[in-house]
Structure 1
């Protein structure tokens, strides 16, 4: 489990800038950035904190590096004091440390699995070809701007549809009747592709004209839906180079999901 340095760094930037180097580097063992009461903070740990800050938009600078080291020193001081206060052996600490260890090992196992089972360029090419072929002969991506109303019963759906047919605005009916969180936006869902929604929704969506509402309520496992097609657009698919990063991420996630399913199938899991 990685420390979230970014939220901790900002208050210390000014202090680090004023103080210059946080601690003298003299008399420290190799690869040591600092020592706190004999406990060494390695350069590797400092670099990990700096990389975490950079990934969150911070700019590399001497001030940032001093701030990261300063925060690590404070963490070391506090953890040492917690040891002296007997907190390290408390039930609460043991539970939290066990959870941190478990989370770290889980992340490490997935990272190791992905490193040992990388997504190849040929995998990416094959997935890209499959996605492009699924677009059909025109070779364009069709996107639909959708709003919806979700209710618990068919009767409620019919009531909402009747109000819309009488001329009431779809977004007004959504705000007053929908049970979905997007009711506050008048039921707005945003842009989707037909393959990103359930088959029940997709089959109705592709048959609608812009401005139309589904002629009948749509039955779903979680309730009944009305949808409105707000707008529609077509675009060219991205090139392989443009799509490569997202395809790699998607295939990596798919491999991890399959690995987790394999572990689950081989495990004895009991849920109360």
Structure 2
């Protein structure tokens, strides 16, 4: 259930189209894909853009690489023009840059925490056995087909919920206001088990009927969420090898949640 967790900073989908790139007369360093007025665009930056596009379902190809390089060139051109126009140090720019820095540092801290506190194969095996035991005598699992809307504040979530209650479709509102990458799919998350979500989500998800939207916004460490139960089904549990990756991701998310909870307990937080 990727969009329900830990993704504050997103990258726009890169449209793939035939693009002709001008060739510079100079010689570029080994790790350079291009340069813009002497400013290097590294192959590492291009690779990050490619990985972001692949994560959003695009196919790896020479055309994708050209599109990523072209987009990075556009970004450098606009950024350099912003410097020339004197808006790079405006209050608005500085606020946004500070937010980007905070989001990056938050992601970096979480990834560093997980690297220092990894999920072991023994942890995964124990969790699999626990989940199998929790199924009871019937031995079936319940899966939920979910859509979600992620916003920054409770007020934004309440406004989105009000639109849905007035008759707007969930997917239309998701496309309009959600901050999660899956907004382009109308907030569709796909099939999940309650145990694969964080406790706040699971507590609400298991009470919903098919087609129902969470009656109130759900507060998460990363923002506020609305969820919709699109469908529900029972099935036989997967084998350990089939479930291993999903369990690992769920345990990682649980560790991240516990880490954030510890930080909250040790912090002096004042909310208006």
The reply to whether TM is greater than 0.5 is yes
Q: Distance in 1 between matches of 2:163 and 2:24?
A: 58
Counterpart position of 1:150: none
> What residue in structure 1 maps to residue 270 of structure 2?
270
Aligned to 1:4: 11
Corresponding residue for residue 51 of structure 1: 51
Cα RMSD after superposing both structures: 3.6
Shift of 1:201: 5.5
Identify unmatched segments of 5+ residues in structure 1: 146-178, 186-190, 206-220, 223-230
Q: What is residue 129 of structure 1 aligned with on the other side?
A: 129
| Contact 2:9/2:103 (<8 A) preserved | no
Partner of 1:98: 98
CA distance in 2, matches of 1:135, 1:57: 34
Partner Cα separation in structure 2 for residue 46 and residue 65 of structure 1: 7
Query: Counterpart in 1 of 2:225?
Result: none
Which residue does 1:86 correspond to in 2?
A: 86
SS of aligned partner of 2:119? coil
For the Cα contact (< 8 Å) 2:9–2:100, is it kept in 1?
no
The CA distance in 1 between the partners of 2:60 and 2:194, in whole Å, is 43
Partner of 1:76: 76
Query: Residues 119 and 252 of structure 1 are in contact (CA less than 8 Å); yes or no, is this contact kept in structure 2?
Result: yes
Gaps of 5+ in 2: 1-7, 146-161, 169-190, 196-201, 210-214, 217-230
2:226 alignment partner in structure 1:
none
TM-score after normalising by structure 2:
0.63
Q: Per residue, is there more helix in 1 or in 2?
A: 1
Structure with the bigger RCO (C-alpha within 8 Å, sep 6+) is 2
1:64 matched to which residue of 2? 64
> TM-score normalized by structure 1?
0.63
Larger Rg: 1
Q: Distance in 2 between matches of 1:269 and 1:118?
A: 29
CA displacement 1:180-207 (0-9 Å, x = unmatched):
958969xxxxx99898556x969xx9xx
In structure 2, how many angstroms separate the alpha carbons of the residues matched to 1:254 and 1:89? 39
**1:81 and 1:66 mapped to 2: Cα distance?**
23
Counterparts of 1:117 and 1:102 in 2: how far apart (Å)? 22
Summarize deviations over 1:23-63 as a string: whole Å, max 9, x none: 34851123111111111111110111111112222222222
Question: How many Å separate the matches in 1 of 2:51 and 2:131?
Answer: 35
Query: Take 2:58 and 2:192, find their aligned partners in 1: how far apart are those partners?
Result: 33
Q: CA deviation at 1:68?
A: 1.0
The 5-angstrom pairing of residues 57-206 of structure 1 reads: 57-141=57-141, 181=164
Aligned length: 202
Give the direction of change, closer, same or farther, for the CA distance of 1:63–1:265 in structure 2 (3 Å limit).
same
Regions of 4+ moved over 6 Å = 182-185, 191-195
Contact 1:139–1:237 (Cα < 8 Å) also in 2: yes
